[in-house]
Amino acid sequence: MTSSPATDAAASLIAELVAHGVRDLVLSPGSRSQSLALAAVHAAGEGHLRVHVRIDERVAGFTALGLSRESGVPAAVLCTSGTAAANLLPAAMEAFHSGVPLLLLTADRPPELRGVGANQATIQPGMFAAWVREQIDAPVPGDGSWEGLGRHAVEVAMGADAAHGHADVAGPVHLNLPSREPLSGSLPAIAVVPGDAPRRAAGEPLLLERGPRTVVIAGADAGPDAEEIAHSGSWPLIAEIVSGARFGRQVVHGYRALLADPRLGGRVERAVVLGHPTLSREAARLLARADVEVIAVRRGGEDLDLNGRTTPAASVVVAEGPADREWLGAWMSASAAHAVDLTESAPDPDALASTDFSARRDAVRAELAAVRRPLDRELLADAVWRATWPHDRLVFGSSRLVRVADAVLGGKKVPVHANRGLAGIDGTIATATGIALASQAAGAPGVTRVLLGDLAFLHDVGALLLPPDETEPRLQVIVGNDGGGTIFDGLEVASTAPRADLDRAFYTPHTVRIEQIALAYGWEYQRVTTRTALDQVLTTPAGGRQLIEVPLAR
């Protein structure tokens, strides 16, 4: 069997992507993309690439997003033409707004078959235009060459000079790849010539003088840099639970109440923002104030500018000088009073061993009550947080639980992920699967835990399906199931809409049997109702995939 222009171009592109740092490719099977899929599988067989197969393109897109989130370098997602390509849009939008590098490879019909009613042909060039760093409608192999496309796509995805958006911020790139039949043929050798490793361009840092009364606000994807800046400036650190920066001596507990306090939040003169803050209205109000100087370190495709006068920065450094100890001390004193402690009281050994029957009885009852204490949202979030360590990964869904966690959890240096670029409910399990695959590559230890509500879980049930010939990641999906979308309890509609209309249009109550879903998809299933049982399930060593259901009151 001879090769074809399509197979030659596919082999060349895959080799170039690998040479410039791409290590993971997620594909969904399809006819038009067959030459690229076969080239990717061949490269995987030779140890150049990890290939992950998903039958659902939306799941594939979010899996690639998770791989890129964790690794910091672009993963590629490959699909066939038509509606398959459209299913990558949610992941592309999240990658754009979060500043995550991602390569969208969409196979397509050649130009002569576009707009003439050909099967599975639509308008693919430009379909992601508003949400990609760059889009390229490649020439048909034989009419032109794909040489250089892979290198260029990786550079732009990592934040090199781009036609769309900031040059030093990562994001998605779309390569639309048309080809003519024959689409199959003998595959040429995948010759990988090592190239430049992908890296994000670094802009000049902005120097922060110490004078103004300053707070550091860490939103989603801020990472440890936020804690370092707060420490350098001796400034209070307001770190959302999804920031990956909630640790260190300057973390502020109960930050929502303190931001609303005129003696603290009302006196802020400057806010340094890293990442994308989305979990509190109090932080948004502060950043919208005209009297507050806001400096925002870019992370995604849009500048943060809620007050119309925010200064963007590629990075920041703190100037030398004396710290404002009075300002920091006021915040830390108030923070200590707002810290939440959800630990159980220690057993009373003296009472348990007492010869006084009443004292011993009361001690036993207290012990039993602690063991049997039912789980609520606060205890659920606390248990997952306490079970997770730096070698693990924690992923939050856009559910009510992430706001509860943000309100009650203390400081801990844990790698945290969440799709908060757009705070969409979809793709959480697929994203977490990609994070698990990337963080556990090459035998690295750790468990990836996902904490989400039942509706976020149901939005991404398709992500539970994994091919039997792929290595199972160590993944615990913990579902807080209250039978509907109770996140709406905190919105205005809950106090204005009739109860029946609220149920019908917002809560979307359901009676799904999650245990049966786990069985169908081959996951280990546990249903837990007490803190003691949950602690045991979370910390008992287990390989593979676990689905843990925690019933919660509405």
The pLDDT, as a whole number, for residue 353 is 63
The pLDDT, as a whole number, for residue 416 is 98
Give Cα separations from 238 to 29, 257, 273, 324, 431 (angstroms).
45, 12, 10, 17, 26
Q: What band does 71 get if pLDDT is binned at 50, 70 and 90? A: very high
Q: For 218-265, give the DSSP string.
A: E-BT--THHHHHHHHHT--EEE-TTSS---STTBPTTHHHHHH-TTTG
CATH of 373-551 among 3.30.1490.20, 3.60.40.10, 3.40.50.970, 3.40.309.10: 3.40.50.970
Domain ranges of the chain: 5-178, 206-338, 342-372, 373-551
Phi, psi of 166 (to 5 degrees): -80, 140
Residue 255, amino acid = Y
Burial class, 186, CB count within 10 angstroms (exposed 0-12 / middle 13-18 / buried 19+): exposed
pLDDT cut 70: percent of the chain above it:
90
**How much is the average pLDDT of 186-212?**
78
37, 29 contact by CB (below 8 A): yes
pTM of the model: 0.93
pLDDT cut 90: percent of the chain above it:
76
Q: Please tell me the distance from the alpha carbon of residue 23 to that of residue 30, in angstroms, as a whole number.
A: 22
The mean pLDDT of the chain is: 91
User: Can you identify the CATH homologous superfamily of domain 5-178?
Assistant: Thiamin diphosphate (ThDP)-binding fold, Pyr/PP domains (3.40.50.970)
Closest to 439 (Cα-Cα) out of 66, 34, 9, 136: 66
Q: Please tell me the distance from the alpha carbon of residue 378 to that of residue 406, in angstroms, as a whole number.
A: 10
Residue 164 has pLDDT above 60, yes or no: no
The CATH code that applies to domain 206-338 is: 3.40.50.1220
The encoded tokens of residue 350 equal 């003296």
**How much is the average pLDDT of 404-424?**
96
Residue 291, amino acid = D
Q: Please tell me the distance from the alpha carbon of residue 552 to that of residue 388, in angstroms, as a whole number.
A: 22
Residue 469 has pLDDT above 80, yes or no: yes
The pLDDT, as a whole number, for residue 192 is 77
Closest to 198 (Cα-Cα) out of 68, 14, 42: 68
The encoded tokens of residue 477 equal 């999906």
Q: What share of the chain is helix, strand, coil (3-state, %, to 5)?
A: 40, 15, 45
The pLDDT, as a whole number, for residue 357 is 63
Q: What band does 301 get if pLDDT is binned at 50, 70 and 90? A: confident
Q: Matching CATH topology for 206-338 and 373-551? A: yes
